[in-house]
Structures are given as structure tokens and as C-alpha cells.
Structure 1
Amino acid sequence: MLHGVIPQTLCKLHSLVKLNVHGNGLRGLIPHCFGNLSSLSYVALTNNMLEGNIPETLCNLKNSLEVLFLSNNNLGGVIPQCLGKLKFLETLDVSKNHLKGTIATTPTLGYLINQKINSSLIYETETWLCSLSYLQFLDLSDNNLHGPLPVCLENFSKELTVINLSRNQFQGTISGACTNGNNLLYFNLNGNHLEGLLPRGLVNCSSLEVLDLGNNNLRDSFPHWLDTFTNLHVLVLRSNHFYGEILSSNTALPFPELHIFDISHNEFIGPLPRHYMENFDAMEHGNDGEILDYFYDDSISLVWKRVELQVLHYNICTALDLSNNYFHGEIPKSLGRLRFIQFLNLSHNQLIGHIPSSLENLTFLEVLDLSSNQLVGGIPEQLSRSLTFLAVLNLSYNHLSGPIPHGFQFDTFSNDSYLGNMSLCGFPLTLQCESKGEGQAPDEKDSEDFGMKFDWQSVVVGYCCGFTFGIAIGYFIFKYGKPRWLIRLVVGN
């Protein structure tokens, strides 16, 4: 491992083709003499503490340089305009620095990786973006970009597979979406100020695997015309103004590969959409299907009680979130067929009836939130015996009654899980049940052996896995590994 500054002696290696000093804690400037290494076709200086400007002498490598990774440093100044003249440059990553000015590039640029731009960067989106006819990966997320979306978004590159413009300040409507023959797999506009209808042109994005339009101001009815998408793994429409009743679909097996279905915080009415809930094939059979054949590192957020969980891997994560709408009626017993669900949130609706005992079949369930409804009756005893992975339970503010089941995970839940149910009794509540042996506190030693109690903000590990994306260097491979039950926890506002 190198330390200190980049040694100038590297510039004597005139036949050097690949230079990778990633994550060495290097300081100081990028040597200007790198521009004299005429065979250099790969430079990776990421995750160091380099400062100063990007040397314009790198533009001398116009006949060799293909990959330039400079992210996660302290580089400043402007990006050299002449980088756009590098004939073979396919990958440019200058994210997480202190750069300013404009970005000049070339139509041969194939991969623009994770272009994180701070608020001081002057960014002329329309000027350069529409000319990138070979662009495959576009990520400008987590910046302060504003104004309307580029008008050329739908057709400036038929090679494009990833569009990530999430968590910016874009305004206006989503003008167009996809032309026929597109290859778009990942489309994320989450966390902007977009409004209006969903563009019906999205129906041409039939290869989509991730569609995340959450946290905007969109107003439309439910897009049932998307339920024929056979590869869609993630559909997030939460925190918009979608409205109306979600009617039965004419599609026999709607959304057959869907793993995450989040339509929370909208204005939907009527009964729960049983036709969809009863036919989510991947949630019932755990079918992972074919997913992205490249490696694009990104996450998707799931929000539970004002806590935003950034799920890193989600091809085998299954989440169903219909909370904070105006759904009414009973929870269908058929919900128990979706046995691979890990997150289930039906809270803050107007649901009535009993908690169906068929939920005992959801043996992979880790989060169950049925709070703030009008549910009645007892908590099914079967749930305490079968939901052995359950880490978060919220049944508060209903009209539940009778003893609280105990044993296994149910012995870890605090009073907060049951608030507002005046007729419940037994541990952990102070109100004890009259019938002997029902709802009593567990043996003290058993409680100690089981471990510490969970609450909403202590659930940091143990969640969804899979569906990781990222860009590999030189060649692009998607590869599965064993599930890594890991999330990043971000406390919401």
C-alpha cells in the first residue's frame, strides 16, 4: 500500500498501461507527468485524499485512455474541457469531489458513473447530455440539479440501460419516457418535484426491472397498463398524489417478477387490490427471475415509521407497502399465500375485521405493520409460533382484544407494538389477563437468552438482500453471492 504523495517515479514507466492506486490514503496533486505515459489506458485514483485540479495533461492520452476513475477525493477546480477529445474514453468517474464548472464529454463516452455533483457545480445538462449517443449508464443522483428534465431523455441514447436522477430538484412533467427498441432497465426519478401524469410512453419500456418514481408530486390513477411487464422487480410510486380505486386487471398474472410494490402515502380508495395481491407470483414462489447482467451499485429505500431503510440488495427482497391511503374492507385471507414477503405494511388505512390467521404462512416476515386501522378481535396465537424472523411488529391503534400471544419473537416486543388497543392484556402490558397462564410474562432466563428487545430504530441488520448493481472495470459482470443481510439506516425527517 502506498502512502503520502503519488511518486513522480511512476512517470518513468513509459510502457505503463494500467495504474490502480485505489484507497491508499494518498495526498497531494495528481502528477502532470502522467500525460507523458502514452500507453496509459486505465487510471484509478479513487478513495484517496488527492487535491488540486485535474491536470489537463491527461488530455495528451487521447489515443490510449479508456477509463478514468477520480472519485472520492478532494479535487477542485473545473473539469478540463479537453477530456471530451479523448477518443477512447468510455468511463469517467469524478464523483464526490469539489469540482465546479461544466462537464465536456464526447459521444464515445459509454459509461458515466455515479456523477455526484455538489451544489456549487454549474451544470449545463442540455448542452452535453443530449450528445451522448452511446451512453449506457447515467447517474446524476444526490445533487442539487434543478429545472425541467432534459427533453432528449427518451431518445438520446438507445444504448442507455440506467437512468438515475433521484434526489435532485427537477421540476415539471416527465416528458416522454421511452422510444421503441429501447434497452432501459433501471429508471429512478425518486425525490424530485415532478408533477402531472405518468407518461404513457413508459409502456415502451417493457424491459424495465426497476421503476422508482416515489416522492414527487405526480397525480394520476394507478398505472395498470404496466402490469404486463414481465421483468419488473421494483415498482415504487409512494408519496405522490395517485388516486382512485385500483380495479381488477385483465392480466392473468400481473407483475409476475415483482419483489417490491410500494404505493404508500397516496390517495387510493376502495378495497385492497386483491387481484394483484393474490397473483404476485414472485412473492408467492420466490422466483428471482433474470436480472441485470451488469453490476450497477445502487439501493432502494423502504420507509417504516419515519425511518428510511436503504436496502442495498433487493432481488430477493419482498416488500408490500400499501400504507397511508384510504383502503377499506377486510385484509384478505389469501394474503397468506405470499409466503416470501419480508416487509408488510398496511398501516394508516380504514381496514376492518380480524387479523387473518393465514398470516402465519408468511414465515419469512420481518416487519409487520397493521397499525392505525379499525381491526378487531384477538391476535392469532399462530403468529407467535410461526413468525420466527419477525423483528418489528406494530399493531397499535386498532380495536384488538384478548391476551397477547407470547413466545419466540413476541417476547421481544415492547408496549409500543400494542398502544391504543384498550382491550388487550398480558405481557408486555401492565394489564394482566384474567385467565390463568394467558399472556403472562416469559421466564426471565428465557428472555435473557433470547436477547435484547427490538424497536423500530434498532433494526439495522437482517433485512432484504440481492439485486445489487454497480459498474465493473474493463468488463462488466453480474454475479450472485450469498445473501448479505445488510442495510444502511437513514433517519427520515
Structure 2
Amino acid sequence: MLRYLEVGNNPLSGVLPNSIGNLSSTIEKLYIGDAHINGLIPKKAIFNISSLEVINFSFNNLSGRIPTTTGLHLPNLKELYLGDNQLEGEIPLFITNASKLQTLALNDNSLKGNIPNNLGNLRELQILLLHSNQLTNEPREHELKFFNSLANCRMLRYLEVSNNPLTGILPNSIGNLSSTIEKLYIGEAHINGLIPKSIGNMSDLTSLSLHGNNLVGSIPSEIGKLKLQVHIPEAICHLSNLVQLFLDGNKLSGLIPECLGNLSMLKHLYLDSNKFSSKFPLSIWKMSGILYLSVSQNSIEGEVPSDIGGLKAIVELYLSSNHFSGMIPSTSGELQNLQSLDLSNNSFLAEFHYPLPT
């Protein structure tokens, strides 16, 4: 009557025997992750236990191919974890026969070949992790066609295909990915071409990574519809010719990078309506060329320094609804181009000068 077997996180070593296929027909969950096992996955023993709902062999030293038997019989399988091994070969097409699969993790292996174009058959798929392999695009195809199929996975929340030599361009169909998708990682994947405007359709997206590719053109304005909730990477400070940076209306948190003050060409900086906290970088108060600066509706604290006088060209300055405190520095009177200033809903103090008695 065994239903649940977990022996992971033990220095078991050794190989999986074929007799593992003789486990009870009631077995539902099999966890042998991080157990120092090696060798091959038994060709028929595992993938013919029809009662299995969860298989976890991650963080081992398994090698060889994922068994390509066409006799796959896992009608109840919901989670398959084979990541962080040494598996090679192609992703078998029959994997989509497991129609109830919700999580497929094949990351951090040495898998080659194409990402199958039939993954859309996994209608209940929520998490797909294929990163850190050697997966490629279909020969003679410019677009990454597997995105077309994944648009049928209407419950997909987390997709990572980073660190693969995919080589190709992102199709417009990427915008057809599930409206429930929250995390999309396609960094270091040899992607070229433009960022499709349709990427703005993914209304629930909170984390997006396209770093380390060969993308060209402009960042589409449609990306402003997304509600990203990450920190600002310091890599953005390498954009020495950046003139406008609009990150307002998201859920960004953490520290505002000090190096933003080094962007001498920056004229518009909008960081309002996020979740930034801690102190505001001193370097930004010294940006003599910036025209518009807004950090309203965050949780920024500390005093406004006398360095505010360094904002010599500033036209509009919005610091409202934060936790700024202390005196408003007198050097703010040096901002001769200032047309709009909002310091409301903070904790500023006023300094009063009473007349001496006569």
C-alpha cells in the first residue's frame, strides 16, 4: 500500500535498479533528489508506473538520455523534476503524453536538439524550466516557434529557457502566452532582432529577463503596461547615452543604484509608485543636467541634503509621499529653473526665526 517514498538528501550513491519498477501500484510520489545517485534512468521501470504523480530525481549525477520509450504510461503525473543532472540527448516528444503535467523541470543538464513544438499539448502546465542546457532552435527557422505552441498552455506561470544557444528572434506570438504568466526568463540565449510589442500583453508578468542577448531597436513602450517587481540592476548604468528612464507604476523594491547619478545624458527619471526604501542616492542630487525627477509614493527615508542645489537644470521635482525628514535645505532656492515642486506627505521640519525683542 506504499504511496509516498522519499529518500532524498542522503549520500546514497549507486545507480537506480530496474527493480524500482516493481514498486507498489499505489505509489504516487517518488523523491530521490540530491542523493548522489548516478548512472542511467532505468529505461522502462520508472515511466510505466501509472500511479505516479510526482517524480523527483533532481540534484544527482544521472547521465545518458531521458528514456525515449514510446510506451510512456503516466496518466497521473503532475510534477517531473530531472534538473541538475548530467542528462544529454534530446527532450523526448512523448513527454506530452503525460497530459496532467503541471511542472516540468529539465534545467541544468546537457540536453541538445530543439525545444519540442508540441509542448502546448500540456494544457495544465504551470512551470517549465529548460534553462542551462544546449537546446537550439529548429534549423532554418528564424523565429523561435516553440512559443507558438506554448500559447496553448493557458495556466503557465513560470517559463525559463535562459542559457541555451537558441539563436533566433522572438515571435509576436510571445504575447499570446498565458495571461497568468508571472516570470519569463530568456537571458543569455543568443536572441537577436527586436523586442516584440506584444510582450506588453502579459498583464501578470512580474519578472522579465532578456539580458545577455543581441537585441536591437527600441524598448517598446508597451512594456510599460507590465507590473514588474524586481530591483533595478546596476547593469542599467552601462547605458551611458540613456536620456529617459521610466520605471514608475511597478513593484520595484530594494535600493536605487548609486551609479544612476553617473548617467550624464539622463534628462527624465521616473521611479514613482514603487516600493523603494532606504535612503536616496547622493549622486542623483548632483545630476546637473536632469530636467524631470519623480520618486513620489515610495518609502524613501532620510534627509534631503544641501547637494540638492546640484540639480541646476531641474524643471519638475516630485518627492511626495515618502519618509523624507529633517529641514528643507536652503540650497533648494538655487533651483532657478524649477517650475513644479511637490514635497507633500513627508516628515519635513520647518525652521522658524522669531524676531528679537526690542
Separation of aligned partners in 2, 1:147 and 1:209: 27
Task: Choose the corresponding residue for 1:328, options 192, 208, 217.
Answer: 192
What SS does the corresponding residue of 2:118 show, helix, strand or coil? Answer: helix
1:190 aligns with 2:83: yes
What SS does the corresponding residue of 2:166 show, helix, strand or coil? Answer: strand
The aligned length equals 294
Aligned AA (1:278): G
Identity, % of aligned positions: 23
Separation of aligned partners in 2, 1:197 and 1:122: 26
Distance 1:254 1:185, change over 3 A: same
In the TM superposition, residue 203 of structure 1 has moved relative to its aligned partner by 2.2
1:434 aligns with 2:289: yes
Aligned AA (1:261): L
Name the counterpart of 2:251: 388
Q: Deviations over 1:393-450 (max 9, x none)?
A: 89x99x99523334344865999xxxxxxxxxx9745861425554899884489828
Separation of aligned partners in 2, 1:390 and 1:353: 28
Distance 1:428 1:408, change over 3 A: farther
What SS does the corresponding residue of 2:216 show, helix, strand or coil? Answer: strand
Task: Choose the corresponding residue for 1:247, options 130, 141, 145.
Answer: 145
Name the counterpart of 1:147: 39
Separation of aligned partners in 1, 2:276 and 2:13: 55
Q: Which residues in structure 2 correspond to 1:26-425 (within 5 Å)?
A: 108-112=1-5, 114-119=6-11, 121=12, 123=14, 125-126=16-17, 128-134=19-25, 135-176=27-68, 179-180=72-73, 182-244=75-137, 245-247=143-145, 251=149, 253-275=151-173, 277-283=174-180, 318-363=182-227, 365-366=229-230, 371=235, 377-381=242-246, 383-384=247-248, 386-391=249-254, 401-403=265-267, 404-409=269-274
Aligned AA (2:4): Y
Aligned AA (1:358): E
- Which stretch shifts more, 146-155 or 336-345? 146-155
Q: Does the 8 A contact of 2:4 with 2:30 survive in 1?
A: yes
In the TM superposition, residue 377 of structure 1 has moved relative to its aligned partner by 4.9
In the TM superposition, residue 334 of structure 1 has moved relative to its aligned partner by 2.0
Q: Does the 8 A contact of 1:170 with 1:192 survive in 2?
A: yes
Distance 1:200 1:180, change over 3 A: same
Distance 1:132 1:437, change over 3 A: closer
Distance 1:141 1:393, change over 3 A: farther
Distance 1:414 1:179, change over 3 A: farther
Q: Does the 8 A contact of 1:335 with 1:358 survive in 2?
A: yes
Separation of aligned partners in 2, 1:166 and 1:225: 24
Separation of aligned partners in 2, 1:248 and 1:218: 16
Task: Choose the corresponding residue for 1:449, options 316, 320, 323.
Answer: 323
Separation of aligned partners in 1, 2:278 and 2:116: 38
Separation of aligned partners in 2, 1:188 and 1:250: 24
In the TM superposition, residue 156 of structure 1 has moved relative to its aligned partner by 3.7
Separation of aligned partners in 2, 1:336 and 1:400: 29
In the TM superposition, residue 151 of structure 1 has moved relative to its aligned partner by 1.8
In the TM superposition, residue 391 of structure 1 has moved relative to its aligned partner by 4.5
Separation of aligned partners in 2, 1:260 and 1:130: 31
Aligned AA (1:142): D
In the TM superposition, residue 224 of structure 1 has moved relative to its aligned partner by 1.6
Separation of aligned partners in 2, 1:219 and 1:439: 47
Distance 1:141 1:201, change over 3 A: same
Separation of aligned partners in 2, 1:435 and 1:184: 56
Q: Deviations over 1:437-487 (max 9, x none)?
A: 548998844898289xxxxxxxxxxxxxxxxxxxxxxxxxxxxxxxxxxxx
Q: Does the 8 A contact of 1:365 with 1:387 survive in 2?
A: yes
- In structure 2, stretches of 5+ residues that fail to align are 138-142, 305-318, 326-358
Name the counterpart of 2:339: none
What SS does the corresponding residue of 1:407 show, helix, strand or coil? Answer: coil
Aligned AA (1:268): L
Distance 1:136 1:368, change over 3 A: farther
Aligned AA (1:233): Q
Q: Deviations over 1:298-353 (max 9, x none)?
A: xxxxxxxxxxxxxxxxxxxx210000111122222222221211211111111122
Separation of aligned partners in 1, 2:255 and 2:115: 29
Distance 1:267 1:430, change over 3 A: farther
Distance 1:436 1:345, change over 3 A: closer
Separation of aligned partners in 1, 2:195 and 2:240: 9
Separation of aligned partners in 2, 1:216 and 1:335: 28
- In structure 1, stretches of 5+ residues that fail to align are 1-107, 285-317, 416-425, 452-493
What SS does the corresponding residue of 1:130 show, helix, strand or coil? Answer: helix
Aligned AA (2:90): L
Distance 1:173 1:430, change over 3 A: farther
Distance 1:429 1:122, change over 3 A: same
Distance 1:150 1:391, change over 3 A: farther
Q: Does the 8 A contact of 2:102 with 2:126 survive in 1?
A: yes
What SS does the corresponding residue of 2:96 show, helix, strand or coil? Answer: helix
Aligned AA (1:388): K
Q: Does the 8 A contact of 2:120 with 2:153 survive in 1?
A: yes
Separation of aligned partners in 2, 1:149 and 1:165: 9
Separation of aligned partners in 2, 1:427 and 1:229: 51
